[in-house]
Chain A
Amino acid sequence: MSDMGLSIAASGLAAETAELDTASNNLSNIDTPGYAAEQVDLSPEAAGGPYGAGQGVIIGSVSQLTDAVYEAGNIAAEGVQGAATQTQQIMSSVESIFPEPSTGGIASQLSTLWSDLSSLASNANQVGAEQAVVGAAQSVATSISGSSTQLSQLASSLQSQIGSGAGDGGTLAQANSLLAQVAHLNAAIVAGSAGGQDVNALTDEDRSAINQLASLLGVSSSSASNGSLSVYLNGVQLVAGDVAQTLGATGSAATADLGVVTSDGVAVQAGGSIGANLTGVNATIPSYQAQLNSVSDSLATSLNTLQANGMDANGDPGSAIAGGWAGTILPNIFVNNGSATTYTTSPADPDSAATIELSPALLANPSLIATASAPGAGNSNVIGTPTLDGTNAQTMAALASSPTGADVVYQSMIGALGTQAADATAASTTASNLATTASNNLSAISGVDENSEEVDVLAAQNAFQASSQVVSAITSCFQSLLQAV
C-alpha cells in the first residue's frame, strides 16, 4: 500500500474511460448494418490487499453481444427474402407482358377476329369484311409473337442481371467480390487476434458481407474458433479461411440451362436473388413460352386446316382439296416468319409463338380467305366457280367457343399466370415479415438501444467523477502528511 489507493482509483478511471469509449462507439454505430453492440468485460482484481480490501478493477476485453442461433436465423431469412422479392419482381414483369383484362389484350383481339369472321360469313365477297378479318388476324399474330419476344427479352435481361461472374457489374460479380472480401477479412481477423488486437470491427464487416451474400445467394455461415467465418452454399464451401471460390455462370437463357459453378468446377444450387433469377430463366419463363406456343399452335392449326379445306369467293381451292387444280391455290392464314408458306407447331418449332405471322400472300390479297365450304353434299359449290357461300367462314367464327380453341388455352394461361403472380406477392410479403422478425430477434441481442447506452454513459460519468474524487482525497491526504513532516 505504497500509493494509498491511487492505483486502485486509476484502475477505476481507466475502466470508466473504457465504458465511455464503448458507449460512444455503440452510439456512433447505432445505424450501422451488421454492427453488434459491444460491452466492456470488467472483473474485480482478485488479489486482495492488506486487511482483505480489493485492489481495483480489471478490464478484460471489449466483447460483442451476439447469438449464433439468431445470427443463422437472420442469414437464412435474408436468403429467403432475397429470393422471394426477386421472384415477385420477375412475376410482375411477366404479368405486365399480358395486360389482362383489357381491350388491347390478346383475348379481346381473338374475339375481334372471330366476330370479323362472322361478319365475313354473311358478306363473303365484300372487300371491307375481308380486310377486317386479315387486319384482326394480323393483330393477333403480332401480339402473340410480340409477347413471346418480350418473354425472351425478359429472360435474357435476367441472365445479364446475373452476369458472368467476372467484373461486369452483375450480381454474380457482386457475390464474388463479397466472397473475396470475406476471405480477406478472415485473414485479417486471424492475424489481428494472434497479435492481440481488437478485431470486433473486422468481424462486423465480415458479418455485413455475409448478410449481403445471403440475400444474393442464400448462403449460410459458421464461425471457427480463431474468429474466421466460413461460407457455405447448399453444402458447398465457398469460403474456407482466407480462400474464396470464384463463381461463374454456365449455360444461357436461350437454352434454359443457366447455372452457377465454383472455380473448382462444382455446380451449386444458388438461392437468394440469383437463385430466383435462375428459376425465372430456366423454368418460369420457358413455361409461359410453352403455353403461348400452345395458344399460337391452336389458333394457327385450326384456322389453317379450315383454310386448306375451303374455297374463297372466287372459287380458288384450299391446298387440301386442290387436287390437280392449275389455278390459284389458297395460302395458309398463319405462317412462321422465315418460312413464309407453312406453320410448324411446337415442339418441332420451339419458337412457334415467337415467329407466328400473317401469311404475306394473304396480306397482299385479303380475298384469298376460304369463306366457302369445299364442294360436297349440302352445297352446290364447284372449284373454280365464284360463290357467296359463307359456311366455311361460319365454321371459322365458331372456333370462338371451341373447348380446345386458342381462347380457352389463353384464358387458362392467364389464370395460371395470375395465380403464380399472386402467390409470389404473398410469398414476398411473408418472407419480408419473417426477415423483419429474424432481424428484430437478433437486434434484441446485438442491436444498440439508445436509452440503455445513455444510462451507461451517465453511470460511467458518475463513476468517473467518484473515482476522480477519490484521487483528489488521496492527494489531499498526501499533502497533509507532507506538511506535517
Chain B
Amino acid sequence: MTVSSLALAQTLTNQLSLQESNIAQIQQQLATGQVLNQPSDNPAAVTQVLALSSQASQLTSWQTNADTATSWLGTANNTANSALESMQSAQSLLLQSLNQGAQDPTTYEALGDQLNGIVSNLLSLSNTQFEGRPIFAGTSATTQAYDANGNYQGNSDVPTVVIGPGSGVGQTVGMSVPGTTIFGVGASNVFATLTTAATALLSGTPTSAELNTALDALTANISTAQQAAAVLGDSSQEVTSASSSLTSQVARIQSDQSDLEDVNVATAMTQLDSETTNYQAALWAASQAIPETLVKFIAP
C-alpha cells in the first residue's frame, strides 16, 4: 500500500495531538488535585460525589444542631439541678419548723424570710437564658419564662432540633423542657407553694396543718422537677450518642468522596511519565521518518 506524504504527515499529526491531549488531561488532574473536573470525566462518579456532598452537608447541619442541643441541655441540666437543690433546702426548712414544735414568732419570721429568698432564687433560675432566649419558656417568643409573681409566660411546646435521619423531618430531640414540667403548673407550682408557706411563717403563728400542706405540696413539686431532670438527662445522652455517630459518618463520607474525586498522585505521576515517554518516542519517530525520502540519496 502506498502511503502518500500527505497521509504520513496527517497520521503523525493526529497521533501527536492525541498524546498532547492525554498529557494535558493528566496535567489538569495534577494541577487541580481532582480526577473529576467536569461531569463527563466520569458521569457515574460525579453523580455519586454530588449525592455524597449533599449527604455530608446534611450530616454537618445535624452535627451543628447536636452541638446547639448539647449547649442548651447543659445549661438546662445545671439549672434544673440547682432548682432541685433549692427546693430540697426549702423542704428541710419546712421540716425543721415542723419538727421543732411551737417556736417564737421571730424564728418563724426568719424561716419565712429564708423561704422568700429561695423563691426569688428559683425565679431567677426559671428565667435562665441561653443566647438571649429563656430556655424554660417552650417555643414562646416571651422574654421571661416566669414573671415576678411566678406566673408562667411561656407555652407547653418543647423546642426541638433535628440531629439525624428518620421519618418526617428526621430524629428530633428536645433542647429543653417547658418551665411547667420543672416548676409545676398554675396555682400548684413551686412558687405558689413556697410563697404560701412563707406567708404562713411570716405571720409568726403558722399552724402545723398549714406547714404540713405546704410540705406535701413541695414534695410533689420536687418529684415533678426530678422527672423533668431525668428527661433532660435522657435527651443529653441521646444527643451525645447521635453526635459521635454523626462524626464517624461524616468522616466515612468524606473518605468516600475523596476516593472518588481526589487524584492519586502516585498513579497520575506514573501515567504522566509513561505518556511523556510515548510522546517523546512519537516525536523522535516523526523527526526520523519525515525527512527520509529518496531525494536525500540522489546525488545532485
- Residues of chain A touching chain B, judged by Cβ–Cβ distance below 8 Å, are 30-31, 33, 37, 91-92, 95-96, 98-101, 107-108, 110-112, 114-115, 118-119, 121-123, 125, 313, 372, 378-381, 385-391, 394-395, 397-398, 400-401, 407, 410-412, 414-419, 421-422, 424-425, 432, 436, 439-440, 443-445, 447-452, 454-455, 458
Residues from chain B with Cβ under 8 Å of A444 in the complex: 1-4, 7
Given contacts A31-B6, A118-B64, contact A415 B39 (CB under 8 A): yes
Asked whether, in the complex, the Cβ of A450 is within 8 Å of the Cβ of B294, the reply is yes
Asked whether, in the complex, the Cβ of B170 is within 8 Å of the Cβ of A448, the reply is no
Given contacts A101-B261, A397-B162, A436-B10, contact A30 B58 (CB under 8 A): no
Residues from chain B with Cβ under 8 Å of A422 in the complex: 40-41, 43
Residues from chain B with Cβ under 8 Å of A313 in the complex: 141
Asked whether, in the complex, the Cβ of A440 is within 8 Å of the Cβ of B7, the reply is yes
Chain B positions 200-227 with a Cβ under 8 Å from a chain A Cβ: none
Asked whether, in the complex, the Cβ of A398 is within 8 Å of the Cβ of B162, the reply is yes
Can you name 15 A-B residue pairings with CB atoms under 8 Å?
A98-B39, A107-B53, A108-B57, A114-B58, A118-B64, A380-B139, A385-B141, A407-B50, A418-B42, A440-B10, A444-B7, A448-B6, A451-B293, A454-B295, A458-B298
Residue in contact with B7 in the complex, picked from A95, A107, A447, CB distance below 8 Å = A447
> What is the bound-complex CA distance between A304 and B124, given in angstroms?
42
Asked whether, in the complex, the Cβ of B140 is within 8 Å of the Cβ of A388, the reply is yes
Q: How large is the interface on B (under 10, 10 to 19, 20 to 34, 35 or more residues)?
A: 35 or more
> What is the bound-complex CA distance between A447 and B182, given in angstroms?
98
Q: How far is the CB of B224 from chain A (nearest CB, A)?
A: 20
B237 contacts partner chain A, Cβ-Cβ < 8 Å: no
Asked whether, in the complex, the Cβ of B50 is within 8 Å of the Cβ of A454, the reply is no
Asked whether, in the complex, the Cβ of A101 is within 8 Å of the Cβ of B53, the reply is yes
Residues from chain A with Cβ under 8 Å of B241 in the complex: none
Residue in contact with B40 in the complex, picked from A118, A412, A421, CB distance below 8 Å = A421
Residues from chain B with Cβ under 8 Å of A440 in the complex: 3, 7, 10-11
Most chain B beta-carbon neighbours within 10 Å: one of A372, A385, A418: A418
> What is the bound-complex CA distance between A432 and B13, given in angstroms?
12
> What is the bound-complex CA distance between A397 and B43, given in angstroms?
27
Asked whether, in the complex, the Cβ of B139 is within 8 Å of the Cβ of A379, the reply is yes
Q: How far is the CB of B160 from chain A (nearest CB, A)?
A: 7
Q: How far is the CB of A333 from chain B (nearest CB, A)?
A: 18
Residues from chain A with Cβ under 8 Å of B4 in the complex: 30, 37, 443-444, 447-449
Residues from chain B with Cβ under 8 Å of A454 in the complex: 293-295, 298
Chain B positions 19-59 with a Cβ under 8 Å from a chain A Cβ: 36, 38-44, 46-47, 49-51, 53-55, 57-58
Beyond A119-B61, A414-B43, A417-B40, 4 extra complex contacts between A and B, CB < 8 Å: A118-B65, A380-B138, A390-B159, A439-B10
Residues from chain A with Cβ under 8 Å of B133 in the complex: 388
Chain B positions 103-142 with a Cβ under 8 Å from a chain A Cβ: 131, 133, 138-141
B249 contacts partner chain A, Cβ-Cβ < 8 Å: no
Nearest A residue to B141 via CB reads A386
B68 contacts partner chain A, Cβ-Cβ < 8 Å: yes
Asked whether, in the complex, the Cβ of B162 is within 8 Å of the Cβ of A449, the reply is no
Nearest A residue to B15 via CB reads A436
Residues from chain A with Cβ under 8 Å of B165 in the complex: 401
Nearest B residue to A37 via CB reads B4
Asked whether, in the complex, the Cβ of A414 is within 8 Å of the Cβ of B46, the reply is yes
Residues from chain B with Cβ under 8 Å of A450 in the complex: 5, 293-295
Chain B positions 243-300 with a Cβ under 8 Å from a chain A Cβ: 261, 293-295, 298
Q: How far is the CB of A104 from chain B (nearest CB, A)?
A: 13
B60 contacts partner chain A, Cβ-Cβ < 8 Å: yes
Residues from chain B with Cβ under 8 Å of A443 in the complex: 2-4, 6-7
Q: How far is the CB of B263 from chain A (nearest CB, A)?
A: 14
> What is the bound-complex CA distance between A231 and B121, given in angstroms?
100
Given contacts A98-B39, A398-B168, A415-B44, contact A118 B162 (CB under 8 A): yes
Asked whether, in the complex, the Cβ of A380 is within 8 Å of the Cβ of B169, the reply is no
Residue in contact with A387 in the complex, picked from B43, B139, B162, CB distance below 8 Å = B139
B100 contacts partner chain A, Cβ-Cβ < 8 Å: no
> What is the bound-complex CA distance between A458 and B298, given in angstroms?
9
Residues from chain A with Cβ under 8 Å of B99 in the complex: none
> What is the bound-complex CA distance between A397 and B68, given in angstroms?
16
Asked whether, in the complex, the Cβ of A30 is within 8 Å of the Cβ of B5, the reply is yes
Asked whether, in the complex, the Cβ of A95 is within 8 Å of the Cβ of B68, the reply is no
Residue in contact with A449 in the complex, picked from B3, B138, B157, CB distance below 8 Å = B3
B97 contacts partner chain A, Cβ-Cβ < 8 Å: no
Given contacts A398-B169, A421-B39, contact A388 B3 (CB under 8 A): no
B89 contacts partner chain A, Cβ-Cβ < 8 Å: no
Asked whether, in the complex, the Cβ of A394 is within 8 Å of the Cβ of B138, the reply is no
Most chain B beta-carbon neighbours within 10 Å: one of A118, A313, A425: A118
